[in-house]
């Protein structure tokens, strides 16, 4: 899967900031952005490692097409014998491996230059074929569920070759009580086109229908506001611009208030419909059950944060002091706090900094990390038509691939460390696990990337040349915690409140949602932040709320990463072996157990409390350095 870099004050700005990378180039001098042909081959990823020629890709495409009928032999017969089951699962794996290569190659090729029609068509072709393969495979899960439990366990014990699928099969059986009859499952599947409508309506409204208006920029020019430009304007040192952009942005959304409220209510009712239909007590229970995560993990996260919001309140007050404003508003939360030119790194300096900073990870990790930097894993620079942002992707049969749009900022150095963390996770997992377990749960996926950032951050802090550099790094660390940890928990608490209201049989309204969001927002940020009259509209324009109970995992991942990274820095006995085992484990265990094996128990509040303690120390240190100045 693709992983987007998160290091923002609020995830509400994530999409805007990611889009900014691409949208700004549209308005800049086209000559400032090079063509792909202008970039040295050593700074491009090597897609030929997947397919050396398009003919090779076409041959595998044809192979999948010809193999779709191969499942007919097994349909209706998986319960006949262990041999029949094993053959089907092995066929399933073999075709998934090929499809993975086809799919990733086509879409990485598209992301090199999205203007090329041939790449667009290839991506569309493989998307359609992937859907057809999924339909051909769709009988496997339901048929496995129809096999009597004792019979399946007997097969597992009698057929050694089936043992590799033991966890996969037992996990399917675990979910049996929530699987319906074949006819009911077919109805639910068909209903998906309807129940996805709320999310589709939100996307169309926010991306196509909302007219944002215009704003006068720093130079006195009238500029049309866009979602991407809004993110940039909120980071402007010009407070008048931030205020005006915020006012125009909220006014645009205000016109759609009732529509957005009704759409979000419909989405939450969809969540409750599926939870009830699948015999869960709550939407939260259904959402967490896929990874077998106890709901107590979610509740303990919220409880731990609510028990100690003082460090965040103190940071709010310190931000107000640094900005020198009488009243702190939400549009001030992304404003730059230091009046200085950002430090720049060449690409070679960025790689060297990561290699030096991540030395505590150990020789084996560093050897593979360095190999990845020089072996065609990374597409480095922005070029015309290239996908914006940054991500890591790949398949079980290939080395990882990383897309960057490197521009030399310190933030980009952290992006490199982050995405290489994902890549190393994939590298170790694919080297260790069979294809059936090569993925990662989101509950663990962001741990490897964020741990790299934490170790790199502490290296840079220890080697800061002067007081100003150290303050800049400390502020970046604080904002990372605020955006990746506190904001996610705040969002999750709002999700819980609105889902709970629907689950009690009550209705949602714009007024209720806005008041609930305002109350939580004020609680988290404290009395120093003043939320204006329509400042609570955020709850109606956050796309993450259309994917229930999703963002809390960024907070749990962050807590786990801070725990693991500190133990690595402390050179705890055995920690390197545990960490490599963590990186090497895909979905052959449940994510809570994977982290427990690494020494992080997310069923307790201890990892969460440690993040709160870190924030408190960082805020105190910034305050001390400011007082010294």
Tell me the catalytic residues.
Answer: 419
- DSSP one-letter code for 389: S
Q: Whole-angstrom Cα distance, residue 305 to residue 520?
A: 12
Strands 378-379 and 401-403: parallel
Q: How far apart are CA 118 and CA 103, in angstroms?
A: 15
Beta carbons within 8 Å of 193's beta carbon, 6+ residues apart: none
DSSP secondary structure string for all residues of 94-153: HHHHHHHHHHHHHHHHHHH-TT-HHHHHHHHHHHHHHHHHHHHHTTHHHHHHHS-HHHHH
Q: Map residue 529 onto helix, strand or coil.
A: strand
Contact by Cβ (8 Å): 220, 177: no
The angle subtended at Cα 603 by Cα 601 and Cα 607, nearest 5°, is 55
Distance, in Å, from the CA atom of 103 to the CA atom of 122, rounded to the nearest integer, reads 9
Listed residue (531, 551, 483) closest to 250, CA to CA:
531
* Segment (H or E) for 77: none
Q: Under 8 Å CB-to-CB from 478, ≥6 apart: which residues?
A: 315, 615, 618, 619, 622
Task: Please report, for residues 208, 367, 568, 583, 599, the alpha-carbon distance to residue 571 in angstroms, rounded to integers and kept in the order given.
Answer: 52, 18, 5, 17, 14
What are the DSSP calls for 464-495, one per residue? -SSHHHHHHHHHHHHHHHIIIIIHHHHHHHHH
Q: In whole angstroms, how far apart are CA 32 and each of 28, 101, 383? A: 7, 34, 9
Q: What does the alpha-carbon distance between residue 282 and residue 28 come to, in Å, rounded to a whole number?
A: 49
């Amino acid at each position: 899967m693709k992983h987007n870099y998160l290091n923002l004050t609020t995830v509400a700005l994530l999409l805007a900031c990611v889009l900014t990378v691409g949208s700004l180039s549209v308005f800049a001098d086209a000559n400032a952005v090079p063509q792909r042909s202008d970039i040295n081959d050593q700074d491009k990823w090597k897609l030929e490692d997947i397919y050396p020629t398009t003919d090779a890709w076409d041959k595998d495409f044809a192979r999948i097409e010809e193999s779709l009928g191969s499942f007919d032999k097994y349909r209706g017969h998986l319960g006949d014998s262990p041999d029949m089951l094993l053959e089907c699962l092995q066929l399933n794996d073999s075709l998934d491996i090929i499809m993975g290569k086809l799919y990733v190659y086509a879409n990485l090729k598209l992301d090199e230059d999205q203007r090329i029609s041939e790449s667009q068509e290839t991506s569309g072709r493989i998307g359609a074929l992937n859907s057809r393969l999924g339909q051909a495979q769709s009988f496997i899960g339901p048929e496995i569920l129809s096999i009597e439990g004792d019979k399946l366990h007997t097969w597992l014990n009698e057929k050694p070759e089936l043992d590799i699928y033991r966890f996969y099969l037992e996990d399917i059986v675990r979910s049996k009580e929530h699987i319906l009859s074949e006819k009911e499952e077919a109805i639910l599947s068909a209903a998906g086109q309807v129940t996805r409508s709320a999310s589709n309506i939100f996307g169309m409204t926010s991306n196509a229908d909302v007219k944002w208006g215009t704003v006068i920029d720093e130079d006195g020019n009238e500029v049309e506001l866009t979602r991407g430009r809004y993110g940039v304007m909120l980071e402007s040192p010009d407070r008048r611009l931030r205020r005006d952009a915020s006012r125009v942005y909220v006014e645009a959304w205000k016109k759609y208030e009732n529509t957005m409220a009704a759409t979000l209510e419909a989405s939450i009712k969809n969540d409750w419909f599926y939870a009830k239909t699948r015999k869960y007590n709550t939407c939260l229970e259904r959402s967490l059950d896929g990874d077998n995560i106890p709901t107590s993990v979610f509740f303990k996260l919220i409880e731990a944060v609510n028990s100690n919001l003082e460090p965040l309140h103190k940071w709010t007050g310190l931000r107000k002091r640094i900005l020198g404003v009488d009243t702190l508003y939400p549009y001030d939360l992304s404003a730059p706090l230091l009046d200085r030119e950002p430090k720049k790194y060449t690409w070679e300096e960025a790689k060297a900094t990561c290699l030096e900073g991540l030395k505590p990870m150990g020789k084996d990790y560093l050897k593979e990390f360095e190999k990845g930097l020089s072996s065609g894993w990374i597409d480095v620079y922005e070029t015309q038509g290239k996908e914006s942002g940054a991500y890591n992707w790949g398949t079980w049969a290939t080395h990882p691939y990383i897309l960057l749009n490197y521009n030399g900022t310190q933030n980009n150095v952290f992006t490199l460390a982050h995405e290489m963390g994902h890549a190393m996770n994939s590298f170790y997992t694919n080297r260790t696990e069979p294809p059936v377990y090569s993925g990662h749960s989101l509950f663990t996926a962001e741990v490897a990337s964020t741990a790299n950032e934490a170790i790199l951050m502490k290296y840079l802090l220890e080697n800061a040349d002067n007081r100003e550099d150290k303050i800049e790094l400390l502020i970046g660390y604080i904002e990372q915690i605020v955006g990746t940890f506190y904001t996610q928990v705040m969002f999750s608490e709002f999700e819980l409140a609105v889902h709970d209201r629907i689950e009690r049989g009550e209705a949602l309204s714009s007024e209720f949602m806005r008041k609930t969001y305002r109350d939580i927002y004020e609680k988290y940020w404290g009395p120093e932040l003043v939320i204006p009259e329509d400042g609570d509209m955020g709850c109606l324009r956050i796309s993450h709320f259309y994917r229930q109970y999703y963002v809390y995992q960024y907070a749990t991942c962050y807590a786990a990463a801070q725990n693991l990274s500190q133990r690595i820095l402390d050179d705890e006995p055995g920690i390197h072996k545990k960490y490599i085992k963590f990186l090497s484990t895909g979905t052959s265990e449940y994510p809570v157990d994977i982290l427990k094996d690494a020494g992080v128990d997310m069923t307790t509040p201890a990892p969460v409390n440690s993040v709160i303690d870190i924030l408190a120390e960082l805020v105190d240190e910034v305050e001390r350095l400011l007082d010294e100045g």
